[in-house]
Amino acid sequence: MRRTFFLSAIFYLLFSIPIYSQDNDSLAIKKFFDNALSDTTSYNNLRFLCTRIGGRICGSPQAEKAVQWSRTVLDNMGLDTVYLQKCMVRRWVRGNDETVTVYPGQKDNIPLHACALGGSVGTGEKGIKAEVIEVKDYDELKRLGTRNIEGKIVFINHPADPAFYYTFSAYGGVAGFRVFGALQAARYGAAAVVVRSATIAHDWYPHTGIMHYADTIKKIPAAAISTLDADLLSSLLQKDPGLTLLIRLSCKEDPETVSYNVIGEIRGSEYPGEVIAFGGHLDSWDIGQGAHDDGTGVVQTIEVLRLFRALKIKPKRTLRVVVFMDEEVDQRGAKVYADEAKRDHVKHIAAIECDRGGTTPFGFSIDASDDQVKRIRSWKNLLLPYGIYMFEKGGSGVDIRDLKSAGTPLIALVTDSQRYFDFHHSPADTFDKVNQRELQLGSAAVAGLVFLIDKYGF
């Protein structure tokens, strides 16, 4: 009886636990990194996207050019399938006039470095000139109330906390003032709102980003000013609390238009109905080139398919790159993708998003069950030689989050975030800020993880 039990236990261990061929897997991972670090395809793709197309807010001619460019790149790779997935998007147009000027008493006026927030209404040709009042947060706004705010321009000056090591936490502490500042100020009759840029950096770059209104509250214009200009304005207000500000924005909202996600696949040889999806978002804000946010994520995930083709690795499962549209405004591309996947009963084995910049990769953040996280962590030693050491349970990304309801493990590439918000949503987000080697390390890291998921599953 004991012998039978012992043999049964051995049989169970052999056939219920994956046997990882470490030597073969290590060699395969090495080939991904060797090829990625020796090839310039991804970097050249990013150069074209950023310098030849540039900023590409959804609904713009640049976004349409980027869609066609993405499709051409995937078509030229000789994939099994390439197609466009239609989605309707908003069409907010920035316009040419973005003026924020301080009028400090009898002194000469001072122009500030400013930009309209995404989705803001315009001011009209004459602009809005009114007394400006500074607040640090919404509690202070509430304490001042309508009596002190009505008819004035509210200046929300809440600096990002530099004490956070993880800069996304610092950003999370200030982004809400950009998103809801106009809505909250309008409750008390403000004429317009100006916010301090959502960045840790102290420079002259204004940072844009989406903001929201409510249908039941008057829509007022909203702009961001650079952090150095915010410091300047605050110091001027300390000397002259009654100074005035002129805001002139020519932004507007045009009718919605058609755009597309761009999808390319290598079909699985054994389990074609099981999909490993990975991608980044093609749209970007229009005041920069959309390099780190998120041109790098787009070219990195396209590169995954190139690496599999270059190394002649035939995946068992279908590998699918999804170049998402409209992450920055309404995430309609993500919603369409998730809805159609649900309608068509697509079985996603995993979904990976690259949208944290193209700096040095550290590892992966995993939104999945404990067992799935444990499985991914079991591959850590294969990626550790390339600096990929972090395999933590946590968040994933905006474009793949709607797949969670179907039980899909969601994964995000985690990169060094220290410089990311220096560039994020600003004119500084340009191709020259991306290091080729750091970019390619990210491509290889994602390709290596995709290889392991494809080989061993969950």
Between helix 175-186 and helix 138-149 the angle, nearest 10°, is 30
Residue 162 burial by Cβ neighbours in a 10 Å radius (0-12, 13-18, 19+):
exposed
Q: Please, are residues 182 and 116 in contact by the beta-carbon 8 Å criterion?
A: no
The secondary structure element, H or E, covering residue 33 is: helix 22-38
**330, burial (CB in 10 Å: exposed 0-12, middle 13-18, buried 19+):** middle
Dihedrals φ, ψ of 442, to 5°?
Answer: -65, -40
Read off the DSSP letter of residue 109.
Answer: P
Tokens for 74, please give them: 């995937």
Catalytic residue chosen out of the listed positions 98, 134, 303, 327 = 327
Residues 6 or more apart in contact with residue 244 via CB below 8 angstroms: 102, 103, 129, 130, 131, 132
Distance (Å, rounded) from C-alpha 452 to C-alpha 20?
Answer: 10
Any catalytic annotation for residue 125?
no
Q: In sequence order, which residues have a C-beta less than 8 Å from that of residue 6 and are 6 or more positions away?
A: none
Q: How far apart are CA 449 and CA 383, in angstroms?
A: 8
366 token code pair: 């995993």
Going by DSSP bridges, is the β-strand pair 390-393/347-353 parallel, antiparallel, or unpaired? unpaired
Triad 444, 446, 448: Cα angle to 5° = 65
Give dist(CA 122, CA 59) in Å, integer.
Answer: 18
**Which residues are annotated as catalytic?**
327
